[in-house]
Amino acid sequence: MHLGLVGLGKMGGNMRTRMRNAGITVVGYDRDPDLADVDSLEAMVAALPDDGPKVVWVMVPAGEATSSTIAALGELLGAGDIVVDGGNSKWTDDQAHADLLGGKDIGFVDCGVSGGVWGLENGYALMCGGSADHVSRVQPVFDALKPEGGGFVHAGATVGAGHFAKMVHNGIEYAVMQAFAEGYELLEAVDVVDNVVEVFDSWRTGTVIRSWLLDLLVAALEEDEGLSQLRGYAEDSGEGRWTVQAAIDHAVPLHVIASSLFARFSSRQDDSPAMKAIAAMRNQFGGHAVHTAPPAGGDAPDSGAAPDESH
């Protein structure tokens, strides 16, 4: 099978290698000429055989980059060809992309991909949406990318099902990571536990919370036990926000995932305005000496010891 692949970054480049190792002929295009096999989208499409449907996999950042790439492919591909969006697109964008291509009888499959930089070795979990016919035509590519024994699902015949499933996966990931992070902070905060890294390492075997994320956290702690080389700042890809918004739209309570998203926002504040407001209120109602003097009439001791907060 032949495939055109647009986007050869950290994941796209490794995906190209994994597919080639499985016997698929991949023609890759990237704006970085050092990564690309050809120098344009036009050259990539031209390099694909004409004796069957041409399949092009798009692996570029979500949003305008994906939309413009799909629009350009719509002008280059023909009836019966298929475009796969394997990026982290918002699931609500997929129908617009499918409609644009469908007007030219070009098929569309959305595919959520998980596996990160480890996917080359371990394979990629794949969640796709679209018609069974379109998915079946791309199945050899899915088989080459997925791990042995599983890792692939046709999430639904409705376009967007794959990216919706991947969005929820990433929301869960936010929550699990936050739980491990909070546990780490608590263990580090007490004097009674001497070997925090060893505690986490012990959980990797036989416990109900053993996981690949736990393995990765232990690896990071073994490289830098106090995580002193890192800043306590966590980005979000956008999918956590989309997950919470979808929950609001469907009246589904997502307490833990929403909390983990907001925790990431908190990480970006060197001097949290919210914590300043809390400190101000505590100072006002209880005269608590935090980082400011108590108000007139306040009786908080200079040591900062807090009186009873009941009121």
- Give me the domains of the chain, ranges plus CATH numbers: 2-159 (3.40.50.720), 166-266 (1.10.1040.10), 270-311 (no CATH)
In the prediction, which pLDDT does 65 show? 96
Buried residues in 278-289 as b, exposed as e (16+ CB within 10 A):
eeeebbeebbbb
Q: What is the pLDDT of residues 193-218, one digit of tens each?
A: 999 999 999 999 999 999 999 999 99
3-state secondary structure of 149: coil
- Token output for 228: 């002193």
What is the spatial distance between Cα 266 and Cα 262, in angstroms, rounded to a whole number? 6
pLDDT less than 70: residues of the chain:
271-275, 277-278, 280-311
Q: Percent of the chain beyond pLDDT 70? A: 87
In the prediction, which pLDDT does 182 show? 92
**Residue reference for tokens 């449907």:** 53
What is the spatial distance between Cα 215 and Cα 200, in angstroms, rounded to a whole number? 9
In the prediction, which pLDDT does 233 show? 74
In the prediction, which pLDDT does 224 show? 84
In the prediction, which pLDDT does 232 show? 76
List Cβ neighbours of 162 (8 Å cut-off, separation of 6 or more): 91, 109, 110, 111, 112, 126, 127, 128, 129, 130, 155, 156
List Cβ neighbours of 63 (8 Å cut-off, separation of 6 or more): 89
3-state secondary structure of 5: strand
What is the spatial distance between Cα 42 and Cα 190, in angstroms, rounded to a whole number? 61
Residue 52: phi and psi, rounded to 5, are: -170, 175
What is the spatial distance between Cα 13 and Cα 186, in angstroms, rounded to a whole number? 39
In the prediction, which pLDDT does 291 show? 53
Give alpha helix (H) positions in the chain: 10-21, 41-47, 64-76, 91-102, 119-122, 132-145, 161-189, 196-202, 212-223, 239-249, 255-266, 273-286
- Entry pTM: 0.85
Catalytic residue set: 166, 173
Contact 235, 264 (CB under 8 A): yes
